[in-house]
């Protein structure tokens, strides 16, 4: 059975977001947090790529710890931003897009790093994304937007992030079981290519 037909529309659906960046949307509620990861192409691709890359790892421990590390480190990056820690501005934009490029290449080449190194890189990528999303709320608050609820927003945001990881992981595992790993690698190539497009649009 070929996985090409069922995977192709699913992958295209995952990429079907009109904007790179973050158009205006509710940033004050659980629902706003849940929707936010779906509104930026860089973030959406990175979260799916984490799941795909995790599915390519050799051990169950690595398959679990890579996405868990991403969620935990992203929460840490966001919390640090809300706490007033000033992180380098390039993490928002260049940093997030660079993470997409690297993750796409990792998936394309089915890279298997020592777990400690893989988790460290994953954490670095996640901190970029956590900073970018938290800074968005900080900027809105500074501009006089209605009071935000960081906790509700973060819960919704993390839930969607975990779901995107699971989606990418599920696609990768299904492709492996059906002897179609090349399709996952092709998704990595497409992810890296889209990251380059995002760089050119910055």
- According to the model, what pLDDT value does residue 100 have? 95
Say if 99 falls within a structural domain: yes
Give the residue among 186, 176, 169, 164 at the shortest CA–CA distance from 41.
Answer: 164
Structurally, the chain folds into a number of domains equal to 1
- CA 147, CA 150: separation in Å to the nearest integer? 9
Say if 27 falls within a structural domain: no
Q: How confident is the model over 64-89, as pLDDT tens digits?
A: 999 999 999 999 988 888 788 777 76
Q: How confident is the model over 180-190, as pLDDT tens digits?
A: 888 999 999 99
Say if 84 falls within a structural domain: yes
The yes-or-no verdict on residue 5 having pLDDT over 70 is no
Say if 17 falls within a structural domain: no
Say if 51 falls within a structural domain: yes
- CA 121, CA 128: separation in Å to the nearest integer? 11
Say if 157 falls within a structural domain: yes
Say if 174 falls within a structural domain: yes
Say if 18 falls within a structural domain: no
N- to C-terminal Cα distance for the chain? Answer: 41
Q: Name the residue range of residue 121's domain.
A: 34-201
The yes-or-no verdict on residue 156 having pLDDT over 80 is yes
95 Cβ contact partners less than 8 Å away, ≥ 6 residues apart:
88, 128, 131, 132
Do 131 and 78 meet the contact criterion of CB atoms below 8 Å apart?
yes
Q: Please tell me the least confidently modeled range out of 50-59, 90-99, 109-118.
A: 90-99
- Name the one residue in this structure whose structure tokens are 């790093």: 113
């Amino acid at each position: 059975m070929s996985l090409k037909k069922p995977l192709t529309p699913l992958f295209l659906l995952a990429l079907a977001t009109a904007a790179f960046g973050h158009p205006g949307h509710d940033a004050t509620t659980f629902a706003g947090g849940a929707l936010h990861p779906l509104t930026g192409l860089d973030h959406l691709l990175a979260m799916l790529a984490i799941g795909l890359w995790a599915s390519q790892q050799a051990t169950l421990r690595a398959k679990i710890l890579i996405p868990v590390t991403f969620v935990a480190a992203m929460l840490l990056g966001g919390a640090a931003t809300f706490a007033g820690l000033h992180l380098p501005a390039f993490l928002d934009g260049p940093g997030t897009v660079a993470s997409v490029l690297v993750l796409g290449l990792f998936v394309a080449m089915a890279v298997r790093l020592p777990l400690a190194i893989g988790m460290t890189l994953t954490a670095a990528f996640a901190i970029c994304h956590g900073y970018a999303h938290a800074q968005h709320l900080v900027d809105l608050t500074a501009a006089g937007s209605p009071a935000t609820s960081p906790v509700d927003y973060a819960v919704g945001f993390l839930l969607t992030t975990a779901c995107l990881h699971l989606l990418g992981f599920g696609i990768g595992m299904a492709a492996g079981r059906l002897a179609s790993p090349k399709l996952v690698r092709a998704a990595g190539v497409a992810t890296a290519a889209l990251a380059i497009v995002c760089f050119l649009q910055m």
